[in-house]
Amino acid sequence: MRIITGSARGIPLETLPGEDTRPTSDRVKEALFSMIQFEIEGRRVLDLFAGSGQLGLEALSRGAQHCVFIDSARAACDTIMANAKKAKLYDKCRISTGDYASFLRCAAGREQFDIIFLDPPYNAGYMSIALAAIAEGCLLAPGGRIVCETDNGAQPVSKRLLKDDGYHDEQVWRQVFGEKTVLREQFALLRTALYGRTRITLLAEGMEAAEK
């Protein structure tokens, strides 16, 4: 695992041992950042389920102004700190050990972010909870983007379905928004794509959908 491009290009990053974390592959990370490549410079970033910190650090390497890293595991935050120092990006970081929901409650009405990375444990139901809290707390800055990483399942997807917008919409509804039907009105779906079993979904405020 490494930083792909920017000021820290090629720097190898430490990973966490065991199966509790699931690092984003370089292929998926490259595709993810291609979706937001022109929206990173000078932005404030939140890496909510940070793990080793690779997404937030990649954003900083590409010119983001500052990143807040949140993870519930002390070992994860220690790893983020080590990686940030290795990449010479530590002065642009705020690293906190804690529950994601507690952080979102405390940050509501106090902080806003231009880019929010959401890569929670698959199938844990955290994604829709986090999105609801982000909307309620007005944590996404105007014009901001939320990048969601979810699991599309192990079964291969046919080429026909890959081109079917209805299929993708249904998968996003199930994987990203869950049972919280109001989220469909609160967020605009800008783009979604499959990379193996990993789905990357780019969201904005629902207001953007109304303006288009």
Give me the pLDDT at residue 157, please.
Answer: 75
The token pair at 48 is 């909510």
Q: Token match 């979706």: residue?
A: 35
Q: What single letter denotes the amino acid at residue 19?
A: E
For residues 59 and 62, give the distance between their C-alpha atoms in angstroms, rounded to a whole number: 5
Cite the beta strand spans of 50-105 per DSSP E.
66-71, 93-97
CB-CB neighbours of 188 under 10 Å: 17
CATH topology classification for 26-211: Rossmann fold (3.40.50)
The predicted-structure confidence for 147-192, as pLDDT tens digits, reads as follows 999 988 766 777 787 777 787 888 888 888 887 888 988 999 999 9
pLDDT band at 74 (very low <50, low <70, confident <90, very high): very high
Task: Specify whether the CB–CB gap between 163 and 151 falls below 8 A.
Answer: no
Place of tokens 């929010």: 116
Reported as a single tens digit per residue, the pLDDT across 128-151 is: 999 999 999 999 999 999 999 998
φ/ψ of residue 102, rounded to 5: -65, -40
Q: Determine contact, residues 4/26, Cβ cutoff 8 Å.
A: yes
What average pLDDT does the structure give for the chain?
Answer: 89
* Residue 211: predicted pLDDT: 44
More confident residue, 10 or 165: 10
Mean pLDDT of 190-199: 89
CB 57 within 8 A of CB 89: yes
What local confidence, expressed as pLDDT, does residue 139 receive? 97
Position with higher pLDDT, 107 vs 18: 107
What pLDDT, on the 0 to 100 scale, is given for residue 212? 38
β-strand pairing of 198-205 with 140-151: antiparallel
Tell me the C-alpha distance between 105 and 94, whole Å.
17
The helix, strand and coil proportions of the chain, stated in percent and rounded to the nearest 5, come to 40, 25, 40
